[in-house]
């Protein structure tokens, strides 16, 4: 079979990203422009501003991705784009651009689910990895425990009932004055804190053993901060960060391994922005090693939003003939 070179475009949140990937696993270029500096001023992503920023840079980002890959528009076999889930305005920028590109260059258009993109980052990092495997997807908007049965075939075993893991990181970081984006800042602060300093709750949901809940933990952190303030006690930010992170990681690893044991899993992967977290990577590695499970975690640059994971996922979808017409629309609450 001949090679398939796919241009992947991602704009579902605050990264404008484009990449060129060959056969779903070989990255020829991966260009990302983050809007973090803009949104930091507001303490979180402002959807309308995010849309405008995507419009400002998308032409340049795609052009740079093609240039770095040494390809031009005609060398591309298909253009892939995230069409959901995500923020509707930001998604529409990528979808509209991809449709125009596909129409103008007479190329196939491949719609990609954002979470499928995150999972597929593992195929890039590990060219030998093939389904079936289990994957914990943890990002700013999602916390899913997924049984990857085959390429593009997913069974969601558990999901968050309220906040996503990354959302909890971001909210707690704001409360303890670390700012946005919270994940990397808590990750760093926690390295110098005591994870056992404060006993924050580990939520388990009755009857739904693989589901997650992080809003109670977030409230517990806020209550702790309030009570310190009322008592006039100084808050040790690093201890709060480390103790909060320990509670998140415990639950993520606990549910993951419960499912891995039950399903007799041999290969376990993680994906999404929170998968770049040091404590989570270490704890998952250890839990998998204890069970003789092969553990997979993409490099941090492939964990947070990027275009390569979208182009990668699109390759496997294209093998099954999945394409979209020019009536493709953004679907903000798209289900896996
Ligand atoms: O996958 P992603 O880039 O975007 C979404 O699809 O949501 O994930 C972003 C999330 C943010 O909540 C960010 O705080 C979190 O991932 N994150 C981290 C780390 N790096 C990014 N959380 C914990 N530790 C990190 N090192
Ligand atoms: Zn994401």
Ligand 2 mean position, distance from CA 309 (Å):
10
Ligand sitting nearest the alpha carbon of 140: 1
Total domains in the fold of the chain: 2
Report the predicted TM-score, pTM, of the whole model to 2 decimal places: 0.97
Look at ligand 1, atom 16, and give the residue with the nearest C-alpha: 273
Ligand 1: residue of 169, 241, 270 to mutate (most ligand atoms within 8 A of CB) is 169
pLDDT over 70 at 62, yes or no: yes
Please check whether residue 192 lies inside any domain of the structure.
Answer: yes
pLDDT attached to residue 196: 98
Kindly give the distance from the C-alpha atom of residue 100 to the centroid of ligand 1, in angstroms, as a whole number.
Answer: 30
- Pair (284, 153) in one structural domain: yes
Asked whether residue 329 is domain-assigned, the answer is no
Task: Say what the pLDDT of residue 205 is.
Answer: 81
Question: How does pLDDT run across 232-245, given as a tens digit for each residue?
Answer: 999 999 999 999 99
Best probe residue, ligand 1, of 32, 50, 122, 274 (max atoms within 8 Å of C-beta): 274
Query: How far, in Å, CA of 242 to CA of 121, rounded?
Result: 28
Q: What integer is the mean pLDDT of 265-286? A: 98
The verdict on residue 336 lying in a domain is no
Residue 58 belongs to a domain = yes
Residues having CB within 6 Å of any atom of ligand 1: 13, 139-141, 166, 169-170, 181-184, 187, 272-274, 276-277, 304-305
Looking at the structure, do residues 48 and 168 belong to the same domain, yes or no?
Answer: no
Which helix H or strand E contains 223, and what residues bound it? helix 215-231
User: Does the pLDDT value for residue 207 go beyond 90?
Assistant: no
- Check whether residue 289 and residue 142 sit in a common domain: yes
Instruction: Look at residue 104 in the predicted model and tell me its pLDDT.
Output: 96
Distance CA 233, CA 291 (A): 43
How far, in Å, from the CA of 156 to the mean position of ligand 1? Answer: 20
Distance in angstroms (rounded) separating the CA atoms of residues 335 and 114: 10
Q: Do residue 271 and residue 227 come from a single domain?
A: yes
Q: Give me the CATH number covering residue 177.
A: 3.30.420.40
Nearest atom within ligand 1 for CA of residue 118: 1
Give yes or no: residues 105 and 249 share one domain. no
The answer to the question of residue 71 being in a domain is: yes
In this structure, is residue 239 part of a structural domain?
Answer: yes
Contact 108, 29 (CB under 8 A): no
Q: Judge whether 218 and 161 are in contact, CB under 8 Å.
A: no
Higher pLDDT, 120 or 44: 120
Q: How confident is the model at residue 208 (pLDDT cuts 50, 70, 90)?
A: confident
Q: Are residues 55 and 89 in the same domain?
A: yes
Question: 197 CA to middle of ligand 2, Å?
Answer: 31
Ligand 2: distance of its center to the CA of 2 in Å? 30
Pick the atom of ligand 1 nearest to 165's CA: 12
112 plus 164 within the same structural domain = no
Taking the C-alpha atoms of residue 283 and residue 289, their distance in angstroms, rounded to an integer, is 10
pLDDT of residue 106: 96
pLDDT 10s digits, 128-146 = 999 999 999 999 999 999 9
Contact 336, 144 (CB under 8 A): yes
Check whether residue 288 and residue 199 sit in a common domain: yes
- Ligand 1: which residue has its CA nearest to atom 3? 304
- Residue 164 covered by a domain: yes
Ligand (nearest to CA of 173) = 1
Round the average pLDDT of the chain to a whole number and report it: 96
Taking residues 41-49, report their average pLDDT.
90
Long-range own/partner contacts, residues 324-328 (CB < 8 A, 24 or more apart):
324/83, 324/109, 324/110, 324/111, 325/109, 326/99, 326/102, 326/103, 326/109, 328/81, 328/83, 328/95, 328/98, 328/99, 328/109, 328/111
pLDDT the model gives residue 206: 79
Same domain, 57 and 143: no
**Percent with pLDDT over 70 in the chain:** 100
325 occurs within a structural domain: no
Tell me, what's the pLDDT at 280?
98
pLDDT tens, 321-333? 999 999 999 999 9
Same domain, residue pair 94 and 193:
no
Least-confidence region, from 23-27, 80-84, 175-179: 175-179
pLDDT of residue 1: 67
Q: What's the mean pLDDT in 173-184?
A: 93
pLDDT tier for residue 2 given thresholds of 50, 70 and 90: confident
206-238: string of b/e by CB count within 10 Å (b at 16+)?
eeeebbbbbebbbebbeebbeeeeeeeeeebbb
- 271 lies in which domain range? 131-298
Q: Is the pLDDT of residue 85 over 80?
A: yes
Q: Which range among 112-116, 206-210, 212-216, 269-273 shows the weakest confidence by mean pLDDT?
A: 206-210
Whether 225 and 102 share a structural domain: no
Place of tokens 């090679």: 3
CA–chain centroid gap for 273, Å, is: 4
Residues 280 and 307 both lie in one domain: no
């Amino acid at each position: 079979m001949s090679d398939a070179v796919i241009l992947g475009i991602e704009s579902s949140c605050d990264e404008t990203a484009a990449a060129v990937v060959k056969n779903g696993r070989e990255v020829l270029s991966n260009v990302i422009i983050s809007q973090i500096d803009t949104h930091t001023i507001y303490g979180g992503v402002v959807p309308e501003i995010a849309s405008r920023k995507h419009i400002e840079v998308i032409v340049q980002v795609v052009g740079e991705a093609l240039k770095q890959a040494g390809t031009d528009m005609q060398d591309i076999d298909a253009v892939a784009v995230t069409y959901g889930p995500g923020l509707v305005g930001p998604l529409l920028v990528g979808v509209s651009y991809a449709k125009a590109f596909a129409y103008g260059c007479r190329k196939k258009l491949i719609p990609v689910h954002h979470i499928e993109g995150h999972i597929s980052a593992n195929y890039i990092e590990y060219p030998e990895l093939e389904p079936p495997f289990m994957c914990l997807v943890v990002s700013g908007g999602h916390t899913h425990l997924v049984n990857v049965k085959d390429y593009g075939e997913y069974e969601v075993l558990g999901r968050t009932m309220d906040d996503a893991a990354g959302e909890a990181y971001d909210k707690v970081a704001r409360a303890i004055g670390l700012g946005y984006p919270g994940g990397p800042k808590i990750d760093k602060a926690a390295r110098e804190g005591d994870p056992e300093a404060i006993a924050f709750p580990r939520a388990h949901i009755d009857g739904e053993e693989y589901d997650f809940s992080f809003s109670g933990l977030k409230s517990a952190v806020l209550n702790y901060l309030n009570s310190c303030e009322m008592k006039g006690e100084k808050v040790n930010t690093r201890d709060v960060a480390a103790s909060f992170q320990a509670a998140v990681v415990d639950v993520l690893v606990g549910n993951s391994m419960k499912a891995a044991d039950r399903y007799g899993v041999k290969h376990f992967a993680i994906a999404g922005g929170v998968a770049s977290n040091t404590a989570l990577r270490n704890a998952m590695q250890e839990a998998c090693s204890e069970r003789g499970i092969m553990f997979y975690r993409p490099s941090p640059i492939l964990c947070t939003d990027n275009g390569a994971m979208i182009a990668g996922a699109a390759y496997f979808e294209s093998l099954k003939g999945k394409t979209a017409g020019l009536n493709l629309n953004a679907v903000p609450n798209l289900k896996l």
